[in-house]
């Protein structure tokens, strides 16, 4: 009985201590595509690699996402993220599930670097099959309150879309069989951290 009571008290102390180590963040991201490579094949299975160009209003690519991280050390946290992201030209969207690693310069209330990896689950299987997203960024708090911080973030990212041969044609060519799109982008985002 003594062992059970000791374990229970130890568990309660650990939980109460660890609650201050959990960090929640929500953000809205504005993405500016820099380069899009599109790979497709024709009916003879000849591969073509072409660059897609974005025209018009650039703020048609955006994301919203949240992460829940645990402070492993004073300067390092690891967590899970979920989000929704859209891309322009072609119009594609995905639900993101993945992980995030943050390195704090001083502690959790100061600037930090982050790396996130996420699988992209298509919201329209007729357009593409699957994808992934990798992002590296820098976050700076611009408003610090007792219970939360407002942060401004700069990031670079790479998003990959894997198409099926029977997906909608991107260029509209008669013999086009879509393959992959690799998009390199940069962006800004604003987040709230609890």
- Domain assignment present for 10: no
> Cα(104)–Cα(112) distance, rounded to whole angstroms?
4
* Residue span of the structural domain in which 36 resides: 22-193
- Domain assignment present for 104: yes
- Domain assignment present for 38: yes
Q: How confident is the model at residue 16 (pLDDT cuts 50, 70, 90)?
A: very low
In this prediction, residue 8 carries a pLDDT of: 55
- Domain assignment present for 9: no
Tell me the two tokens of residue 2.
């003594």
- Domain assignment present for 158: yes
Q: How far is CA 134 from CA 95, 104, 157, 188, in A?
A: 14, 19, 6, 15
Residues 48-76 have pLDDT tens digits of: 888 887 765 566 788 999 999 999 988 99
- As a whole number, mean pLDDT of residues 28-46 equals 88
**Nearest Cα residue to 28 out of 90, 86, 107:** 86
User: 126: how many CB neighbours lie within 10 A of its CB?
Assistant: 9
In this prediction, residue 51 carries a pLDDT of: 87
- Domain assignment present for 12: no
CATH code of the domain containing 188: 2.40.160
Structural domain total, the chain = 1
- Domain assignment present for 11: no
In this prediction, residue 46 carries a pLDDT of: 82
The single residue listed with the structure tokens 């509209």 is 172
- Domain assignment present for 59: yes
Residue-wise DSSP of 125-194: TTT-SEEEEEEEEEEEEEEE-SS-EEEEEEEEEEEEEEPPTTSPPSS--TT-EEEEEEEEEEEEEEEEE-
15 pLDDT higher than 70: no
Strand-pair partners of 158? 134, 184
Residues 141-179 have pLDDT tens digits of: 999 888 899 999 999 999 999 987 677 888 888 888 888
Query: HSE on the CB side for 73, CA within 13 Å?
Result: 8
């Amino acid at each position: 009985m003594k062992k059970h009571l000791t374990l229970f008290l130890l568990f309660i102390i650990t939980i109460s201590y660890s609650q201050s180590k959990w960090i929640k963040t929500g953000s809205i991201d504005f993405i500016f595509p820099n380069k899009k490579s599109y790979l497709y094949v024709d009916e003879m299975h000849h591969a073509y690699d072409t660059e897609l160009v974005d025209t018009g209003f650039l703020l048609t690519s955006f994301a919203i996402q949240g992460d829940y991280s645990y402070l492993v050390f004073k300067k390092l946290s690891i967590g899970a993220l979920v989000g929704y992201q859209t891309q322009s030209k072609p119009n594609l969207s995905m639900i993101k599930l993945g992980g995030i690693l943050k390195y704090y310069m001083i502690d959790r209330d100061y600037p930090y670097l982050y790396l996130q990896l996420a699988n992209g689950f298509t919201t329209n299987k007729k357009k593409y099959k699957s994808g992934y997203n990798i992002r590296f960024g820098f976050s700076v708090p611009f408003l610090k309150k007792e219970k939360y911080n407002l942060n401004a973030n700069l990031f670079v990212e790479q998003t990959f879309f894997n198409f099926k041969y029977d997906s909608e044609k991107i260029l509209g060519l008669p013999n086009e069989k879509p393959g992959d799109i690799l998009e390199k982008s940069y962006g800004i985002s604003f987040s709230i951290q609890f």
